[in-house]
Amino acid sequence: MLNRQNLRHFNRTVRMPEENSKAPTPSEAFGAAPDELNELQRRYRTHISNLNQNAMTLVPFNLLDIYPSTESISELISQVDDLKKCLDSFRPLSPEQAENLQQVFDTEYTYDSNRIEGNTLTLQETALVLEKGVTIGGKPLKEHLEVINHQEAIGYIRDIVNKDVELDERALKDIHAIILKSIDRKNAGAYRRIGVMIRGSKHRPPEPHMVAELMDNYFAFYRQNNETMHPVLLAADMHEKLVTIHPFVDGNGRSARMLMNLILLQQGYPVANISSERDERQDYYTALEAVQTGGSIDHFHRVVLKAVKTALIKYLDVMSPDVEEGKGDYYLERIAPHID
């Protein structure tokens, strides 16, 4: 369940303004005249009312009509930037919105991230473990712990964002320690001291004596690029580099996806989820393998950009039926041509 502390963490990740700060007016923030925004809001409310009367979905329309599928990295970046601007126009979120978004999307993220690594709990079973503390019959204790630990790790990265803690080696090792808590006490939060191989991959991770230096370079890369790279591309690069170094005996994939989302949350993006469905999971592995065997990182950038785009659209779909005065103004401007 969402408690007051976790809600504060979530609100911080979506960059809620200070209580006494003066929020810009819609016209100041987005350049539209107040009369135009009022007319857009009127038309939008009529549109939603018509959907309700016709017993249709409350999602006003498919945002992919505005942000169509593309393989162009530059177009994906442009779409992600514009979708984030739409999302920002709804902020600050109400406590009810924050609670709903966190519960739904964190559960899905936990389910998919664990399933990628072989966890057999279904999405519904994952939700029962997290929300009700239920033990699923016939499923091993380790899989329950993976669910509980992953959810705790999400809370931890939100705590880092809330407290403006720098992303460094200590933060990464803490994330990994949480992910493997009560599963592998010996290796939780510790770099590996043995050689490893990745099943089904042509990539051979570096020898253990190289890990410490490679990780020093890893965090140096982050510090050098944190202020200059596009946040989504930086998050993708940090993800790829971590799984390529493979600094831990186990838990590298979950740690890499968690660290990627830490970077995204720091920049006001929602949690991005890599789907565990067969085709999407294989595309994710193929994209990583390409980089690890000397190929381009472009494919992996596309994978992460698409995941962020999907997350932004899902957030907007949840919030869009409840547009109110002073909220969602840029979003309304973007969808105006599609409102009846």
One-letter amino acid of 128: L
Cis, bond preceding 92 (omega within 30 deg of 0): yes
* pLDDT given at position 296: 98
- d(CA 256, CA 260) in angstroms, rounded, equals 6
Nearest to 232 by CA among 303, 282, 289, 164: 303
Residues 312, 35 contacting (CB under 8 angstroms)? no
The DSSP secondary-structure symbol of 321 reads G
Residues 186/187/191/195 CA torsion (nearest 10 deg): 100
* pLDDT given at position 224: 98
Q: Going by C-beta distance under 8 Å and a sequence separation of 6 or more, which residues neighbour residue 154?
A: 106, 109, 110, 258, 261, 271
Kindly report the CATH class assigned to 79-191+205-338: mainly alpha
Residues 339, 42 contacting (CB under 8 angstroms)? no
* pLDDT given at position 16: 34
Block means of pLDDT (10 residues each) for the chain, length 340 residues? 36 35 44 62 56 51 92 98 96 81 92 98 97 96 98 96 95 98 97 94 95 98 97 98 98 98 96 97 97 97 98 90 78 84
Backbone angles phi, psi at 164, to 5 degrees: 55, 40
* Residue 203 structure tokens: 């990539």
Nearest to 258 by CA among 132, 329, 139, 158: 158
Q: Is 13 left (phi over 0), alpha (psi -120 to 50) or beta?
A: alpha
Residues 253, 288 contacting (CB under 8 angstroms)? no
Residues 101, 318 contacting (CB under 8 angstroms)? yes
| Residue positions annotated with a catalytic role | 246
**Chain-centre distance of CA 305, in angstroms?**
11
Residues 329, 85 contacting (CB under 8 angstroms)? no
- d(CA 185, CA 247) in angstroms, rounded, equals 16
* pLDDT given at position 295: 97
CA atoms within 13 A on the CB side of 96: 3
- d(CA 291, CA 303) in angstroms, rounded, equals 13
Most distant pair of Cα atoms in the chain: their distance: 66
Environment class of residue 281 by beta-carbon count within 10 Å: exposed (0-12), middle (13-18) or buried (19+)? middle
Its pTM stands at 0.85
- d(CA 162, CA 154) in angstroms, rounded, equals 12
- d(CA 162, CA 174) in angstroms, rounded, equals 16
Residue 122: other Cβ atoms inside 10 A? 13
* pLDDT given at position 47: 54
Q: Going by C-beta distance under 8 Å and a sequence separation of 6 or more, which residues neighbour residue 263?
A: 167, 231, 234, 235, 238
- d(CA 25, CA 44) in angstroms, rounded, equals 19
Helix (H, G, I), strand (E, B) or coil at 134: coil
State the angle between helix axes of 231-245 and 208-225 in degrees (0 to 180), rounded to the nearest 10.
170
